Amino acid sequence: MTKPTTGPFTKTPGWLDWYAGPSKPRFVLPANAVDAHCHVFGPGADFPYAPERKYTPCDASWQQLFALRDHLGFHKNVIVQATCHGADNRALVDALQRAEGRARGVATVKRSVTDAELQALHAAGVRGVRFNFVKRLVDFTPKDELMEIAARIAPLGWHVVIYFEAVDLPELWDFFTALPTTVVVDHMGRPDVTKPVDGPEFGLFLKFMREHDNVWSKVSCPERLSVAGPRALDGEQAAYRDVVPFARKVVETFPDRVLWGTDWPHPNLKDHMPDDGLLVNFIPHIAVTAELQRKLLVDNPNRLYWPEESR
Ligand code: 0GY
């Protein structure tokens, strides 16, 4: 892959560039596998970052994303609008239009979005909107505005992607459970993996999924959730080992409602930048049979994002 660049913008101090030489994964992905959570950033020269952004990344173009897709062995991508672009979806739409049907998108929209704009996003391949509740990433949006957006996108067959921290789930519960669409949770609701997998905090997340069969979860981002980090003394087998029980529990309890993605180019990591090839090798630790792997990587994302191909 080509190396990261910054274009006309100055990166946030300490920002880690994505890993330019990912290894070839040992785990061979099944045919038609989908990387169901990844982003494009800019390039800033073509698609400037939003004035209200909380960080300035290095550029991460559609060419670089699709090169990674091919290198890792994925067939398709779901590209999720990142907060550094606010509700300006032009970089996302451009990437979708370049993908020749092999990418779908999750956008960010405001209450002021017109029906014509929603239709144009749909035509480009957008199939969901993202509501972000992570305070370091976004300013607060009133819940009545978000509910209004959810009601507008529901007739399009779109879903809502929600991103929040585990401690905020109790406060957000009533809003989440009132959403009229399929709801996809980013990164298992960001559990604190130093707490027990069978404790009350993660128990509430499992209850959320158990009691609401419209709720799905991405079992992604071990590199973001792990305290143990990428390597243990016994090597790669144990990478992000503290995340394994959490992700495995979700995969095995809700095998038909889980998705996996690289999260490339990995915004806001402070300590290390993962080798995406090693991240793919993490998958068989959380989906331990060929059937679970097929559901996670192929059946579920294709059913949600390419339903016309799954009929
Ligand atoms: C992720 C996670 C993060 C950032 C964003 O849109 C974003 O800026 O999602 C994060 O910093 O935890 O899923 O990419």
* CATH number of the domain to which 42 belongs: 3.20.20.140
Give how far Cα 101 sits from Cα of 22, 89, 105, 159, Å: 25, 18, 11, 19
In short, whether 238's Cβ falls inside 6 Å of ligand 1 is no
Give the total number of structural domains in the chain: 1
In short, whether 81's Cβ falls inside 6 Å of ligand 1 is no
**Structural domain boundaries enclosing 160:** 34-310
Active site residue 263: yes
Among the listed residues 66, 120, 130, the one whose alpha carbon sits nearest the alpha carbon of residue 90: 120
> What tokens does 95 get?
């990437």
- Model pLDDT, residue 237: 56
Q: For residue 190, which atom of ligand 1 is closest to its CA?
A: 12
* Residue 249 falls inside a structural domain: yes
- Model pLDDT, residue 4: 83
* Residue 270 falls inside a structural domain: yes
With beta carbons less than 8 A apart as the criterion, state whether 293 and 258 touch.
Answer: no
Distance 236 CA to ligand 1 centre (A): 25
* Residue 29 falls inside a structural domain: no
With beta carbons less than 8 A apart as the criterion, state whether 297 and 283 touch.
Answer: yes
d(CA 75, CA 35): 8
Among the listed residues 63, 17, 18, 22, the one whose alpha carbon sits nearest the alpha carbon of residue 264: 18
pTM: 0.97
In short, whether 82's Cβ falls inside 6 Å of ligand 1 is yes
Distance 82 CA to ligand 1 centre (A): 6
Distance 238 CA to ligand 1 centre (A): 24
* Residue 79 falls inside a structural domain: yes
* Residue 4 falls inside a structural domain: no
Tell me which long-range contacts 171-174 makes (C-beta under 8 A, separation of at least 24). Answer: 172/133, 173/208
- Model pLDDT, residue 218: 98
All residue ranges of the chain with pLDDT < 70 are 1, 232-238, 311
* Residue 83 falls inside a structural domain: yes
In short, whether 40's Cβ falls inside 6 Å of ligand 1 is no
Q: To 10 degrees, the CA torsion angle through 156, 157, 158, 162?
A: 130
- Model pLDDT, residue 5: 80
Query: Which residue out of 35, 59, 263, 276 is catalytically annotated?
Result: 263
Distance 39 CA to ligand 1 centre (A): 9
pLDDT digits (tens, 9 = 90+) for 292-301: 999 999 999 9
Peptide bond into 222 cis (omega under 30): no
Please, what sign has the CA dihedral across residues 151, 205, 207, 106?
positive
* Residue 196 falls inside a structural domain: yes
Closest residue by CA, ligand 1 atom 6: 82
DSSP per-residue string spanning 135-196: TTT-----HHHHHHHHHHHGGGT-EEEEE--GGGHHHHHHHHHH-SS-EEEGGGG---TTS-
- Model pLDDT, residue 238: 64
